[in-house]
Chain A
Amino acid sequence: MGDVILTMKGIDKSFPGVHALDHVDLEIRKGEVLALMGENGAGKSTLMKILTGVYSKDSGTITYEGKEVEFKNTREAQDAGVVIVHQELNMLGHLTVAQNLFIGREFKNGIKIDDKKMIEESKKLFDRLNVDIDPTEIMSNLTVGKQQMCEIAKAVSFDAKVIVFDEPSAALTESEIEEMFKIIRDLKKKDIAMVYISHRMDEIKVITDRVTVMRDGTYVGTLITKDCTKEDIINMMVGRVIYEDPKTHSMVPADAPVVLKVENLNAGKMVQNVSFELRKGEILGFSGLMGAGRTETARALFGADPKESGDIYINGKKVDINSPQDAVNAGIGYLSEDRKRYGIVVQKTVAENTTMATMHEFMSGLFINKKKEKEVAQKHVDALATKTPGVDQLVVNLSGGNQQKVVIAKWLTRNSDILIFDEPTRGIDVGAKNEIYKLMNKLAAEGKSIIMISSEMTEILRMSDRIVVMCEGKKTGEIDISEATQENIMNLATREIN
């Protein structure tokens, strides 16, 4: 293991309502792969965004190659050799691979862009990394895996000395991951330091040298990967939080009626002939890789995006759902993975958000009965233990977990019987996470039916009664929780691709 190339010390960062990072330390050495572990909301991404200049820190120091630095934007970080490979691909689909690799720093021939040189340079880069991609190919024609390789190639092309991988494997199949590992091992030999963020314990054991664990925005500790067990890491990640016991069998009574039946739902490439049933009081997990079409299925079912065909039955009766309005009237509520964009109106109060879907029940003649509105909102704040100074508080000032509770309150006010939770704990801190789990279990026990889309395997296994697995827009299987394992889910999740 080489010398220390980068040290972050006492990094502190607050957002409205959240203390995201509380004096966090991190140390990266040349030629090593450092795993950065922690549950959703532990602060890994925030820390990496501060490192690469996306966010500015409130306090603390970053020392890079012996000098204190503060990157004001990603460009400055890139120029210094600190780059990040994002989980979401940041590629422009309609451009060629070569154009994407050199975007913003194109080679010029006079005032003309020198496409030939860019293609040549791309070839050299791919040769060096031993990947087989044609630089003249249009980006959107590549598989997700190949696009990820391009992202990595782009990172390397900046003469990177430190590369951060933010969940690079979330959309990759086993063989693609293997290919990526080959590149990473190669980069190690070139003395490049890497930070690897992933939730997949097996990968951590295979590819990383050390593990730094974060929890709740704090630094917990660092272990040598080969000297520790999975359990050691999990214990450090989870800490004081005691999670709901994972289900070993379905909690749904055998005679529970089917409340929702979806038949041959089609909506573009991402939703092809999807059929499934949801029973009363059931938590139906939707598992799959990133881009498997789970969110698209939920949105098509909810009427948020147009569907091409497919029948939807609620309590045995066929319903026409062509807009979210139809879906809400049919008793479905949708909790998006992206709460800020699709779930809440941040500039409005807790009370106003709570009654958003139920305005008609809060009218006294022409006017809104604000007193009743606040009472109902307060009732839900108490019942869900939402942390807010009051129902008049703007939702923007609440933490992710509490914002999620406001969205839940919105659908409870509407009395929706079918709730679609899309990544229910994304961006929610560890303490609040279990509260959301408890709440979901309670809702299910009370007879609500829940569809839960999750990319976290542990969450799927912990919460679901039954699991639907999707891959590339198709449903590839269905597993009862009593038979579910990481392996058989992963097999189904990559079935179409392999």
Chain B
Amino acid sequence: MEKIKQNAFVKKVGFNRIILVAVMLLMYLAFGAMTGGKFFTVSRLMNIFNYVYFLGFLALGVTFVIATGGIDFSIGPVMFCCALVSGYSFYNHGVPMGLALVLCILVGLLFGVWNGYLVAYVKIPPFIVSMASMNMAKGIAAVFTKTQSVSWPQSSEPAGWYRTFVKSGSFPTGIVLFLAVAVICAIILNKTKAGRYILCLGSNSEAVRLSGVDVKKWTMLAYTICGILVGIAAIFYVGAYTTVQPGYGDQYNNEAIACCVMGGTSMAGGIASIAGTVIGTLIISLLQQGILALGFSKDYQFIITGFIVIGAVYADVSARRRKN
């Protein structure tokens, strides 16, 4: 075992990540076997991808926030708020599709700035801020749409071009875009000043502040990046499913956070892995589709996701304790 861990390739890629990929493949095969091969169809794969897109963008976003040692429980409802506000504007206020998509990201951005400002400058704990934002997002969406659900245009309609972000003909464009954004996120986190300071302040914000760094600015930036990615997630959500309803979205908070912690991002802050988040997203999406394919209701998935969050955080905490 130790020998494997010391192998140069294993060290570079990370032992835990290899295990995660193995778990993912095993899960895929297991679900395939249990459903008598039905799981291996192209349409099922597309379903999994659809789930990966929006969940993946949410998870990428919240990775930045968790890296600072914070948390954001508003991402799911904010995503719905983005999709509802912009979709409603498209139908009822004559906003062209292109602008609606910009509006969608803008709403996410504004929530990110708002959360980030309150956490960094007003010093309200992230937990409280995001809980409040979660309800505000639901409220704003409901008031704006007069509690009506919004169905975005179908692919056949002229304004349906936005769906090519998800699927162009039978080609899953979404997976390419998702991976591209993930690479950009990884570059931001690992190669830029912003990423460096976000990780450092997540590990010890006081030491970073006393080094003369504007800790507030960088904290707020992390939440802002998260907000933008939540806006993008909203586009991919409607791109895959078209219909959004006010008052929902909570369940995706837990799932997105599960993707992060499973991928090795530490809830204590300071340690984050974009590659890990991507793999985590694939596993959670597989799980979701697998459970549905086996004929269980989505409620079972909530239970399992809950256990995954606790298990992953426990593993992180106990690894930390062993180190000390």
Binding site for B on A (CB under 8 A): 16, 302, 304, 324-325, 327-329, 334, 336, 341-348, 352, 356-357, 359-360, 363, 366-368, 396, 410, 414
Q: Are B197 and A347 in contact (CB under 8 A)?
A: no
Contact of A346 among B187, B203, B213 (CB under 8 A): B203
Nearest chain B CB to A178's CB is how many angstroms away?
A: 39
In the assembly, what is the distance between CA of A304 and CA of B200, in Å?
A: 18
Q: What residues of A have a CB within 8 angstroms of the CB of B186 in the complex?
A: none
Interface flag for B270 (CB, 8 Å): yes
Whether the pair A341, B212 counts as a contact (CB closer than 8 A) is no
Of A346, A363, A366, A410, which is within 8 A of B211 by CB? A410
Q: Closest 7 A-B residue pairs measured CB to CB?
A: A328-B212, A357-B211, A356-B211, A347-B203, A345-B204, A367-B191, A345-B203
Cα–Cα, bound, A336→B206 (Å): 11
**New A-B contacts (14) at CB < 8 Å, excluding given A325-B214, A341-B207:** A304-B209, A324-B211, A336-B210, A341-B206, A345-B200, A347-B270, A348-B199, A348-B200, A352-B196, A356-B208, A357-B211, A359-B196, A368-B193, A396-B323
Residues of B within 8 A of A344 (CB): 204, 207
**B192 lies within 8 A of chain A by Cβ:** yes
Tell whether A367 pairs with B192 under 8 Å between CB atoms, given A341-B206, A346-B203: yes
B128 within 8 A of A: no
**A356 touching B200, Cβ below 8 Å:** yes
A348 to B191, CA, bound (A): 14
C-alpha spacing A324/B196, complex, angstroms: 19
With known contacts A325-B213, A357-B212, A343–B196 Cβ distance under 8 A: no
A359-B214 in contact (CB<8A): no
B residues apposed to A, CB below 8 Å: 187, 191-193, 196-197, 199-200, 203-204, 206-214, 270-271, 323
Q: Which residues of B contact A363 (CB under 8 A)?
A: 193
Using known A-B contacts A344-B207, A356-B200, A359-B197, determine if residue A324 contacts B212 with beta carbons closer than 8 Å.
yes
- How far does the alpha carbon of A363 sit from the alpha carbon of B191 in the complex, in Å? 10
Cβ B210 vs Cβ A345 within 8 A: no
Assess whether B204 is in contact with A304, with CB atoms less than 8 Å apart.
no
CA distance A342 to B204 in the complex (A): 8
Across-interface contacts of B193 in A (CB, < 8 A): 359-360, 363, 368
- A345 engages B197 (CB within 8 Å): no
Cα–Cα distance between A302 and B206 once the two chains are bound (Å): 13
Distance in angstroms from A389 CB to nearest chain B CB is 15
Q: A345-B204, A347-B203, A356-B200 are in contact. Are A334 and B210 (CB under 8 A)?
A: yes
A295 to B227, CA, bound (A): 40
Nearest A residue to B190 via CB reads A368
User: Which A-chain residue is minimally distant from B217 (CB atoms)?
Assistant: A325
> Given the complex of chains A and B, what is the CA–CA distance between A359 and B217 in angstroms?
15
Residue of A336, A343, A356 contacting most chain B CB atoms (<10 Å): A356
Q: Please state if B200 and A352 are interface contacts (CB–CB under 8 Å).
A: yes
* A341 contacts B204, C-beta separation under 8 Å: yes
Bound CA–CA A363/B207 (angstroms): 21
Question: Chain A contacts of B196 at CB under 8 A?
Answer: 352, 359, 368
A-B contact pairs, 22 of them (CB 8 A): A302-B210, A304-B209, A324-B210, A324-B211, A325-B212, A325-B213, A325-B214, A327-B212, A328-B211, A334-B210, A342-B206, A342-B210, A343-B210, A345-B204, A345-B207, A346-B204, A352-B200, A356-B200, A359-B197, A366-B191, A368-B193, A396-B323
CA distance A407 to B157 in the complex (A): 62
Distance in angstroms between the alpha carbons of A399 and B154 in the assembled complex? 63
Most B CB within 10 A of own CB, among A343, A348, A352: A348
* Complex: A344 Cα to B191 Cα, angstroms: 20
| A357 vs B215: C-alpha distance when bound (angstroms) | 12
* Chain B residues within 8 Å of A359, by CB: 193, 196-197, 213
Give A332's nearest chain B residue, CB to CB: B212
Residues of the B chain whose Cβ atoms lie less than 8 Å from the Cβ of A414: 212
Residues in B with CB closer than 8 Å to A334 are 210
- Please name all residues of chain A whose beta carbon is closer than 8 Å to the beta carbon of B187 when the two chains form the complex: 367
Shortest Cβ distance from residue B181 to the other chain A in the assembled complex, whole angstroms: 17
Q: How far is the CB of B225 from chain A (nearest CB, A)?
A: 14
**How far apart sit A341 and B203, CA to CA, in the bound complex (Å)?**
10
Contacts of A360 in B (CB 8 A): 193
| Closest Cβ–Cβ distance, residue A300 to chain B (whole Å) | 13
Q: Give the interface centre of A324, A328, A366 by most chain B CB atoms within 10 Å.
A: A324
Q: How far is the CA of A139 from the CA of B323 in the complex (A)?
A: 37
Q: Which of B192, B210, B213, B323 has most A Cβ within 10 Å?
A: B210
| B209: chain A residues within 8 A (beta carbon) | 304, 324
Complex-state Cα separation, A11 to B271, whole angstroms: 35
Complex Cα distance A342/B209, Å?
Answer: 9
Looking at the assembled complex, report how far the CB atom of B220 sits from the nearest CB atom of chain A, in whole angstroms.
Answer: 15
Query: How far apart are the CA atoms of A90 and B323 in the complex, in Å?
Result: 27
Determine the residue in chain B with the shortest Cβ distance to A414: B212
Query: Smallest Cβ distance from A149 to chain B, in angstroms?
Result: 33
Give, as a whole number of angstroms, the nearest-CB distance from B324 to chain A: 9
| Complex interface: chain A residues within 8 A of B270 (CB) | 345, 347-348
Closest to B214 in A: A325
| Chain B residues within 8 Å of A343, by CB | 207, 210
Most A CB within 10 A of own CB, among B200, B207, B209: B207
Q: How close is A448's CB to chain B, nearest CB, in angstroms?
A: 17
Asked whether A329 and B210 contact (CB < 8 A) given A344-B204, A367-B191, A368-B196, the answer is no
